[in-house]
Chains A and B, each alone.
Chain A
């Protein structure tokens, strides 16, 4: 009677403890659901910027002109239909709130845009001369216009010639000939083979704003469906990348977390065959994840979607601790006793992972810092929960579950050869890597951007077809005011003209063309005669020509208006595509003004930089975004290497302190180090280029490798305990390898890099630890059960 009363009281207490844990968890989960903000600005996973060039690069990538341009390719119908659809679509998108404009190369669009240029032509034309408005100049111009009018295409030039017989508008437009325009068919941009029609639309939303970019994409698809559902649109560009990678990352995060959770659960059920035990294993992970995400949110103000994707891997790591505890307890042993017995090993395992993640939290890469905090907090909480919460929950109860038998690895220790082979492999790998260095570092920013390679390849292909390669070289002209910056940009023009003549650059697009300094504008306008003189000259020039005397009245009127007009400013272009473009080319950054002149097809950016330095006062410089980004990637890699080194040193100190023996610490550290070398070699041999993400993942490999080595290194009391250790290790490593292998499937480069590195590293670390397992583990052959 008393016995059953004790038991029922025990059961009651266990149930109430479970209830307390459950209520705590539910409260936390509710709190998380209410407070956590998920963001997906992909630049969080771009390196931090420190130099002005780098800030310019990041600003351009985030919300510069380049980031706002969406490329729309229409296909799936005949040329005529595509051309018609292109016109309709351009018109609709031009009016849509999501877009500033949509260009398709058509003449009417050009004319509509050209009105600002037309009305300010005398202030903007580079071909202004006083002689053009004297009698002989006018006479020559009028004769030319007469032939033009009588030509088969007179209808085209008719309306412009009466306003602009001297051809100033044409002189302005000629400057813009970028040398690389898409082919025209049916009056709109087409691929050379006529299979795709192209439009370029500038979004109002900056490129990094993935949600509004997605709305813009939906607007394009909607407009197309209304216009002609048969036509298929391919959308690409930085904004599209942002929107699509957001979707991909979210899908990856959800699917991968789900899959690895399910597989781990299945594995746990297979190993333990008891709902209670599985629940005990899951509790620390669940608390760790939840609190980790909450801390990230509290620290950073939001949680990045990629960080959530990474959470999946945390499941694989954190599930190890309770497994290790439970599998190591002897049958009939209460969890609190085994927890006390395994305290040091468990603490070292948790702390080495925490330290390896610490290096991440110090990263100036916001995204990586988030991953670091999540790992650190998650693992720490899971460790604490394993050490204290589980024994508290279970109380006096000893868990019963069938213990699977895992074959011993003793055969590896019996012969020297496997170790010799391993040592040779490690030494060979290290030598090979040293020889290949530094070819295996990732130097391309695109390679570490979260944009999947497939999207980048499609984008590059469309741009090639369009003959509109991505602009990556600019001249950046600085000034204390907008005007000063534009003046500096104007000063660069003579050098650029010479370079273009020599065909050292293919094209350039200067904001100074559209916004000459007020002085220059005044100088040009001062070349115009007043109305009385102009009318007299015109009358003289018209004598004997077939034109009616009043045919050029609009010309006289326009010149009169130009003389009284205010100078052209950025505001003059408001509401036009040109205005949208100029807003992106004349920007304020760090309290200074910048006028950007994009260059196309620069043969030698370094030489251009020298030339500019020699011939301009130094307020302009060449910025090669590719070079800047490569430098940034290099710089960040150095930072990551330093952090990783610090992390490794800390881990070693931790081992020394925890094991209290240099020999034992070395015994634990060496297999892990060997695993690192082999992992890098296999990755590089497999064609991966190491980025900062791989480096960070290697740190995780080090943490995991040390865990295994620690477990193998523990002095086991008897064969039974050794057998338990083997089972614990098998379960732990399987869960780690599974979750990171799933991560390797991700199409997001960050997650893929971390996944493949850690999965591979875990396998190799396990093998190395087993090879160098403690001598006393070697028992006479046949001891394995």
Chain B
């Protein structure tokens, strides 16, 4: 009685649905992007030291820099580099305040897609804002609650020309590492301590 043709069409369709669900939506342990974002969003503020290593085909050894990462709700993110040279990037509202060599520069985030995508990656991940992240990135979550890995691929062509992939990994509601893989093959690894 069962129409075999319909089954043949329906089966791969269902398989695809299932795999999608496995990747993103429902997991056996109830851990998914929504849950992860909830955990991250529970952080009211953050202040942590970081150490960042930049690897490049131009470099014989990575450049190491260190400083402090700051977050305050709803949208203030600061990356203050202390070594090897003082430098500060402060995102607030639609503005990036850049302090380098003692000179200040203000740039509207909306002016360049790369800027707004970069700000969104920090704000979205640290503040647990799923909608914001989805505006700029295709997301895929791997691993489980004690050790997760969120892969973010830029949607925007312009950003994609410079950034290939951002990988954030962590443990429960804590971010431990942010890797940025550039299209040029260079990459950087920022570890939060």
Interface residues of A (CB under 8 A from B): 79, 107-108, 146-147, 149-156, 158-159, 162, 183-187, 194, 546-549, 551
Contacts and interface: CB of A to CB of B under 8 A. Distances in A.
B111 interface: yes
B140 interface: no
B112 A187 contact: yes
A150 B52 contact: yes
B59 A158 contact: no
B113 A156 contact: no
A90 to B, nearest CB: 13
26 contacts: A79-B110, A108-B158, A146-B63, A147-B85, A149-B54, A149-B58, A149-B63, A150-B52, A150-B63, A150-B65, A151-B87, A153-B114, A154-B54, A154-B56, A154-B186, A154-B188, A155-B182, A155-B184, A155-B186, A156-B162, A158-B58, A183-B111, A187-B113, A547-B58, A548-B57, A551-B59
A186 B79 contact: no
A146 B59 CA distance: 9
Contacts of A150: 52, 54, 63, 65, 188
Contacts of B85: 147
Given A149-B54, A150-B52, A546 B163 contact: no
Nearest to A184: B111
B162 A185 contact: no
B60 A546 contact: yes
A496 B111 CA distance: 30
Contacts of B163: 155
Contact of A548 (B58, B111, B114, B184): B58
Contacts of A183: 108, 111
Contact of B118 (A79, A146, A152, A184): A152
B100 to A, nearest CB: 8
Contacts of B60: 546-549
B59 A156 contact: no
A546 B62 contact: yes
A154 B112 CA distance: 15
Contacts of A147: 84-85, 87
A194 B183 CA distance: 30
The 7 closest A-B pairs by CB, nearest first: A184-B111, A155-B162, A551-B58, A150-B63, A150-B54, A185-B110, A548-B60
A548 B112 contact: no
A543 to B, nearest CB: 12
A88 to B, nearest CB: 11
A569 to B, nearest CB: 33
B156 to A, nearest CB: 9
Given A184-B110, A185-B110, A187-B158, 14 more contacts: A147-B87, A149-B54, A149-B59, A149-B63, A150-B65, A152-B89, A154-B188, A155-B182, A158-B184, A186-B110, A546-B62, A546-B63, A547-B60, A548-B58
B112 A184 contact: yes
Contacts of B104: none
Nearest to A105: B111
Interface string B31-57: 000000000000000000000101011
A152 B184 CA distance: 14
B29 interface: no
Contacts of B89: 152
A162 B162 CA distance: 17
Contacts of A546: 59-63
Contact of A158 (B61, B65, B186): B186
Nearest to B89: A152
B110 A548 contact: no
Nearest to A148: B100
Contacts of A153: 114, 118
A108 B161 CA distance: 11
Contacts of A547: 58-60
Contact of B108 (A152, A184, A549, A551): A184
A639 B108 CA distance: 55
A158 B58 CA distance: 9
Nearest to B158: A187
A186 B115 CA distance: 9
A153 B186 CA distance: 12
A550 to B, nearest CB: 9
A380 to B, nearest CB: 67
A551 B56 CA distance: 10
Contacts of A162: 58
B114 A156 contact: yes
Nearest to B183: A155
B175 to A, nearest CB: 16
A107, A147, A152, A183, most chain B CB atoms within 10 A: A152
A150, A187, A549, most chain B CB atoms within 10 A: A150
Contacts of B87: 147, 151
A546 B57 CA distance: 11
Contacts of B186: 154-155, 158
Contacts of A149: 54, 56, 58-59, 63
B126 to A, nearest CB: 15
A110 to B, nearest CB: 12
A548 B55 CA distance: 12
A547 B55 CA distance: 11
A186 B183 CA distance: 20
B172 to A, nearest CB: 27
Contacts of B111: 183-185, 187
Contacts of A184: 108, 110-112
Nearest to B162: A155
A656 to B, nearest CB: 76
A146 B56 CA distance: 11
Interface in B175-192: 182-184, 186, 188
A107 B112 contact: yes
A333 B140 CA distance: 104
A548 B58 CA distance: 6
Contacts of B118: 152-153
A162 B59 CA distance: 12
